[in-house]
Structure formats: C-alpha cells, structure tokens
Chain A
Amino acid sequence: MREIRSMLNAVGQSVPRKDGIGKATGQARYADDLRFPGMLHGRTIRSTIPCGRLAAVRLGFDPAGFTVVDHRDIPGRNVVTLIADDQPCLVEREIRHVAEPVLLLAHENREALLGASVALEEEPAEPVFDPERSPTAFKTILIEKGDLAAGFAEADHVVEGTYCTGHQEHVYIEPQAVIAVPEDGGMTVYGSIQCPFYAHRALAVILGDAVARVRVIQTETGGGFGGKEEYPSGIAAHAALLALKSDRPVKLIYDRVEDMLATTKRHPAIVRHRTGLTRDGRLVAMDIEVILDGGAYQTLSAVVLSRGSIHAAGPYRCDNIRIAARAMFTNTPPNGAFRGFGAPQTQFGVEVHMERIAEALGLDPVRLRERNLLRPGDTTATGQRVGQDCAALEVLRTAVRRSGFRRKRKAYAGTGRGIGLAMYWHGSGFTGSGELKLASRATIELTATGVRVLTSSTELGQGTRTMHAQIVADALGVPYEQVEVAMPDTGLVPDSGPTVASRTCMVVGRILQRAAEEIRAKLGDATPAEYFRRHGPLAVTGQYEQPEWIRWDEIDYRGDAYAAYAWGCDVVEVELDRDTWEVRPVRVTVVNEIGKAIHPALARGQVEGGTVQGLGYALLERVVMRNGAMANAQLTNYIIPTTLDTPKLDVVLLEHPYDGGPFGAKGLGELPIDGPAPAVVNAIRQLGIDVRGIPAVPEAIREAACASP
C-alpha cells in the first residue's frame, strides 16, 4: 500500500543531484570520453577570408588513409536547417565569413590528421563589418504602444543616449564535441548537444535518403549557455558525412582556438534611447532603437531580436512606447543563442539610461525606478497586463535594504568606490504562441522499481534531471529516489521542445506534473512498482497546454509575450584602481523572484553562475575582431572570471507562485545574466565616469574618464 503523501517531500528541498556522484568521481561520460571500434578523428578546413569566393581547393597530402568530404558528398540538401535555410553545411562557392567550413578530413591517427595541409584558393570581395552600414536586415520588429508624439508633447524633459554591448564568447569548459557512428543501417550521433531534436532535423535534411534512420543521443555535457543550442547541428552533420563516406565512427572535437574562432557568440548590440519624462520623473514616452549584429547567417537572430525588443523598455510602465529593432547581416561568424538571448543587451541599454535620467533630472535613482516600475495590472510595451506575481517593486526594495544601498551611496561619494543598481525582468518560455506551436510532449513510464521520466530536455549542469525528478516524485507521491531520468535519445524520448528560453522547469516541468497526476489517478492505491508487477507497463505522455488567456499577435507584436516573468534587482559595489584603471566588483547583492525554487541549492547555483557570467560580460570579456575574425581566440587573452575576479555574492530568492508553473515555478536560468552589466556600469557612474558600453575594460574606462568632465 502506498502511503499517502500530501506534503512536498522533494520539491523545495535540496535533494542530491541525480548526476552528482558521476561528476564528483570522474565517471560521468562526456563525448570525448567515448571510443568506438575503428573510430576515426575528424577535422574541419575553414575559409580564411571574411567575404568572397572559393576558387579551388588543393590537397597537399597523400590521400591514402584519409577520408575527404566536400559539399559534393552531401546526399541531401546542403543546408543547416533552422529558421531560415541560409547556412550551408559546407561552402560551395560563396564565402561569407572567416572560419566557414569548406572541407572535412578524417584519419585514424590524430597526428597524421593535423599534419595534413590543404591550400584554399580564395578570391576576396569587400566585406561589411558595421551592422549600421549593412544593406541587409535579417529581421525587423516594430512594437508600438500608445501615441509617442503625444507622450513627448507631455514631457518636461527629454533624455537621449546610445549604449553598446560587445560580443561574448560562451566558454563552456568542454568544447564542441560529437561522434557519428554508422550503425543498424542508420546513423547515430552522440554529442555535447543542447537540443537533440534540432540536430536530428538538420541531419535528416543533409543526409536525405542516404540514411534510413537518424538518432541523436546527448552525452554528458560540459556546459552550453546557448552555445550548444543550434551550432552542434552543423558539427553533427560534418561528423555524419565523414562517417557515411568512411563507414567508420568519426569523432569531431574542436580545440579551444577553433571553438572560439568558428562558433557563435552573443550578438553585439547598439541601443538608442530617447525618453520623455515629467518633472517628477514619470516616464511618458520611450523611443527605442535596437540594432543587433547578426553575423553572416541568420541562425536564431530573428528570435534573439524578438526577445531583446520585448525586454527593451525594461520592467517599466509607460503609456507611449516605440521599439524599432533590426538584426543585420555582417561578414563575421554568425552570432547565436547565448543565455539571456537578446535581453541582456537591451536591458543594459535601458538601465544605464535610467541612471543617466536620474542624474539629468537630479532624482534619486531608487525613487525614479520606484515611480515607474510595473505593478500588478500594469501593461508592458506589448500591452500585456502583468499578473499578481509581478514582484518588481519588492525585488528593488529588498535589494536596496539588504545591500545598504542608500547609506553606502552617501559614504562612497567622492571615494574610489561606487555603488550602482539595475532592475531587470525575464519572460519564461517561448514568446507569444511559440509554446503552442511547439506542442511539447513528455512521458512518464512505470518500471519495476518506480518510474522513469522521458523528455528531450538536456542536462547541461543546470539540474534538469534532478528538478524533473523532484516534480514527478511529489506529483506522483513517490520517493525522489524512485524516479529515474532517461538520457535524451531521439530514438527513445518524445520531443519536449528545445532546452532553451528558461522553459525546462516551467513548461516541461508542468507537462510532467500533469502526466504524473494522471498516472497517480490510474495507480489507485498501488505503488508504481506494485502496479507494474500486477498489470505490466504503463506510460503516460502529456502535452503542453498553454494557459487559455494568452493572446498574441505575431504581426503587430501585441499581446501576451510570455506566460510569466521572473524579476530581479542587482546592487553592485566596485572599486577603481586609478593607476591601472581597473574596476573590480567587491560585493554584489542579487534579489531574484522566481515563483518557486524547486531545488533551492540548484536555483542559487543558477543565480551565482549567471551573475558571474554577467560580471565577466561587463568588465573582462572582450572579443577583439580583426578583419572579421576573433583575434584573441584563446583563454590566454579572452579572460573569463576566475576565483580572483569574483566578488562577495549575496543571493536572495523570493517566491511569488505562478499558477501555470509546476508548484508555482517560473523560469530562472537566464534571469540572472540580465542585471550585472548595467549595475556595474551604474556603479562606475558614481565614480564620475560616463561609461556607456561594455566590456568596460581598463582602456575603455580610462578613455571615458578622460572624456568625462
């Protein structure tokens, strides 16, 4: 007999991670740890010019023992399919960026492989690097609310400003890695892959009829942050083409330099604000322009732009808003998904701008924000009415109190220390009706010892397996230990949608909660194991049901952009070294409202990790582009935060349950990266230095200090 559990036994507890032991003992298997009999190593030969034509390819080695693949070896279509089918799997003629894949080699001996020389004859053409001069827009978006001209007519003050953000490299510590294995008349790809079904779809198009069955299996993944969202589809295809031609397993692992040079990065952005305010600091008109540098192919730029523009006005209420956004083509490696997905760029703009407004109007920066923050019932730029869970004011007040902001602001004035804050919000799940279109599914099946969860949601370190098991355990009323979670394998699991957009807990977790409730009703008094013994297998597959109140107009960008928003406020204290112009963060207070922390320690880990990535984005991480290529594509001179660069972190999690999420949970993964950069720059502003761009590396700070009055 099953004991009836009405309490939450797993949810809200920091239960042991499902993958904890494997990771602590070195037993967890990442792609590079796998070996297959007869396996070859693969290598990618890449373009060296940013724009032009490929005239000829000359092999400078004896081809015996090598497998060589070019575009003519593609049995299906030569395209890495995603939103727009514009990116070839291998260059045929046209070259659009440096490090574009041209030719693939495989050999069983790595030294022989690396020693093989290939000469490319390339005919350069004039590249475009400046997104503002680019003639080609991948996507434009216009969001309009109220009457902008009337808003400006009402304004006592108008404040303008331009804010710039640079590229950011993901630096997952495990570089890109896949292995393609020809087996059972099909092709199985194992890899460090964030979205196995994206890779699956891309492989099907590229391999066409040549391969009867494609299967993609995620291996343990050493970090992703968006960098393994769409990009591995192309690598999977490369490995599969080599495997198809050689009929041997092929391992394709990027080294760090190749990974940094060739793979996607966060989109650089230019954000312009023109804002009308009343004398007492009420926002009456916000005119915002957003320009993203998309790079040479579309990848996910259209959706990054979408999320960026929807968040561009910040968590503020204003009746008259125009947001005009565009993602532009340039001859640089394509930019793609990165934690935050356009929102960190636009929220950097609006929050640094708010600080400048406070300064221009002589208002207290906290008051200015308090006056304008969204409250329950207010409408966003797209006209969405925010719910009772809107916690903008509460996160601000908690952060201000907890950090001693007002006292320190006075105390630091005129010293080498500064303190600044930033408000932010982040919509959970796909935009608008995106979740409806995805129609994600997730399965729970009974086993001899409990239940198994089957989803395509990947564990990237964020805790997917653990958190899903907790939700299922409590919804089903079984101990957490009796819930197993299957590795995502497209041959085994349903498509639960991609592991992106802070949707894995709120959306996929919700489907699992419902499916578990359905199973619970069927079990009656039996435990899953008892039921399995008596009646045999039972599986329930649930599908996402979008809350029925959601209305979204994709053409006019009006309506309910996200089912829920999580809210945040960061307070950052910095110290300036006037000799080196180095700014060091010394203390950061983060207050995040996330609905419900399913696993408090994991949630805290997301906040701490995201915050430190955000501090790196703000102060250290500079991608130097020279002639369309990253000139510092090594960890020696692309610097991410180390233990010596990170400040004291104080994290507070608040919970205002959202009733459409499992046990009240909203999305969390991306939220914490939105705040640190503007908060850092606002703290630098207190030092009297007018910085409006990131990364605020010492050279940039010195330059701004010399220019500031």
Chain B
Amino acid sequence: MRFTLNAREVELNVAPLARLLDVLREDCGLTGTKEGCGEGECGACTVLVDGEAVCACLVPVAQVEGAEVVTIEGLGDDHPLQRAFMDEVGAQCGICTPGMILTAITLGPRPSLAKIRRGLAGNLCRCTGYEAIYRAIHRAS
C-alpha cells in the first residue's frame, strides 16, 4: 500500500479492507482524525482524499492507493482556518474541529453562508450550534 500522506510518500503493510480511519490513527499515529460514529453520519473522521472531503470511517484503505491524503496534521499549526477557528471560538469541545476545518477547505474562496451550510451538512457539531463555525469560515476567507 502506497499513498501520499500529508505531502509525504508512505508505504504500509496493512490489510486492504482496514478502515482508513484506523490506519491513520493506529498505523500512522495521526490521532487528529476522530471517530464519532463509525457509520458515516458525523463527519468527525473527515480527511481529504485528492482534495475531496471523505469520511475515513467508510473508506477501506485500499481505495486510497496512489492517492493524496491530507489530515488535520497536514495543515501544520498556522493555517488561516485554524487561526480563525481559534479567534472565533469555532471549537468548543473540539472533537468535530479537525473534520470541520478539512471540510471547510473544500468550500473554496469566499463561500456564501448558504454554500457553507450545504458544505458542512455532513459534519455534526453538538456544542456550537454552528454559528461560531460560520463566523470562523467567513473570517478565514
């Protein structure tokens, strides 16, 4: 199994049907990707695969062979969205935050509120009521 993970080539010896989520968390030690439901409903496990937001709990690792995978760790610590989430208190408990930020990246520049709402519809947040997340995304764009 080879793929690009956060701009680095990785080669792993893992079961092809293993969930990408488990491979990232356990084999690669990247625990910023979270598990909230394991059934594709909460979006806490969102990562980017070739620039698209996907639920890592639903993806068998074999599917990312040769692809480019980005997790929250791939953004470093100074991405404009990360700063905006801090400034606007877009993270309360923070468990949804990595997934929210990665999904927000796919919204493109200056998304309208309607576009943000549609884009984030697969990412659940139980703490914020989403308002601070909208403010953060607006601020970053």
Contacts and interface: CB of A to CB of B under 8 A. Distances in A.
B94 A461 contact: yes
Contacts of B101: 24
B92 A462 contact: yes
A174 B88 CA distance: 22
Interface in A671-685: none
B1 interface: no
Nearest to B135: A601
Interface stretch (A288-296, A315-323, A488-496, A641-649): A641-649
Contacts of B128: 605, 608-609
Contacts of A636: 39, 41
Contact of B86 (A21, A30, A256, A640): A21
Interface string A1-35: 00000000000001011011111111111101100
A463 B128 CA distance: 12
Interface in A450-481: 460-463
Contacts of B88: 601
Contact of A25 (B77, B87, B125, B129): B77
Q: Is the interface of B mostly helix, strand, loop or mixed?
A: loop
Interface string B114-128: 001110111111111
Interface stretch (A88-96, A143-151, A217-225, A271-279): A217-225
B44 interface: yes
A21 B91 CA distance: 10
Contacts of A612: 129-130
Contacts of A222: 34, 36, 93-95
- Count class of interface residues, chain B: 35 or more
Nearest to B95: A222
B73 A635 contact: no
Interface string A225-265: 10000000000000000000000000000011000000000
A60 B85 CA distance: 50
Contacts of A644: 117-118, 121
A634 interface: yes
B126 A640 contact: yes
Contacts of B76: 25
Contacts of A20: 85-86, 89, 91
B42 interface: yes
Contact of A174 (B82, B95, B118): B95
Interface in B89-103: 89, 91-98, 101
Interface in B29-57: 30-39, 41-42, 44
A487 B72 CA distance: 24
A249 to B, nearest CB: 16
Contacts of B92: 223, 461-463, 605, 609
A604 B121 CA distance: 22
A605 B34 CA distance: 22
Contact of A173 (B31, B32, B42, B118): B42
B96 A634 contact: no
Contacts of B131: 604-605, 608, 646, 649
Specify which of B33, B94, B128 lies most central, judged by the most chain A CB atoms within 10 Å of its CB: B94
A339 to B, nearest CB: 11
Contacts of A172: 93, 95, 126
A605 B91 CA distance: 9
A610 B124 CA distance: 15
Contact of B42 (A221, A225, A635): A635
A173 B125 contact: yes
Given A222-B34, A644-B118, A24 B89 contact: no
A23 B94 contact: yes
Contact of A460 (B93, B120, B123): B93
Nearest to A14: B89
B71 to A, nearest CB: 7
B34 A643 contact: no
Contacts of A643: 116-118, 120-121, 123, 130
Contacts of A28: 94
B132 interface: yes
Contacts of A16: 86-87
B32 A26 contact: yes
Nearest to B35: A32
B23 interface: no
B75 interface: yes
A604 B77 CA distance: 26
Interface string A431-462: 00000000000000000000000000000111
Nearest to B102: A26
Contact of B126 (A173, A463, A602, A649): A173
B124 to A, nearest CB: 6
Contacts of A608: 128-132
Most chain B C-beta atoms within 10 Å of own C-beta, residue among A20, A26, A28, A605: A26
Given A25-B75, A601-B89, A256 B132 contact: no
A239 B11 CA distance: 35
A24 B121 contact: no
B97 A649 contact: no
A26 B33 contact: yes
A175 interface: yes
Contact of B127 (A33, A256, A461): A461
Contact of B31 (A33, A223, A601): A33
A223 B132 contact: no
A286 interface: no
Contacts of B126: 170-173, 223, 225, 609, 613, 640
B29 to A, nearest CB: 9
Contacts of A613: 126, 129
B121 A21 contact: no
B121 A256 contact: no
Nearest to B85: A24
A44 interface: no
B95 A223 contact: yes
Contact of B44 (A17, A173, A604): A173
A610 B127 CA distance: 8
A24 B79 CA distance: 9
A87 interface: no
A219 to B, nearest CB: 12
A649 B129 contact: yes
Which of B38, B86, B125, B127 has most A Cβ within 10 Å? B127
B31 to A, nearest CB: 4
Interface in A157-184: 170-175
Nearest to A616: B126
Given A173-B95, A605-B128, A609-B129, A256 B37 contact: yes
A225 B95 CA distance: 14
Contacts of A256: 36-39, 42
17 contacts: A14-B89, A170-B126, A173-B96, A173-B124, A175-B36, A223-B95, A224-B93, A256-B38, A601-B89, A605-B127, A608-B129, A612-B129, A634-B41, A635-B42, A642-B122, A644-B117, A644-B118
A-B interface, 3 closest residue pairs, ranked by CB to CB distance from nearest: A26-B32, A23-B94, A222-B95
Interface of B: 25, 30-39, 41-42, 44, 71-73, 75-77, 82-83, 85-89, 91-98, 101, 116-118, 120-132
Given A16-B87, A173-B96, A640-B126, 12 more contacts: A24-B94, A25-B32, A26-B31, A30-B31, A173-B95, A220-B94, A461-B94, A605-B128, A610-B129, A613-B126, A634-B41, A642-B120
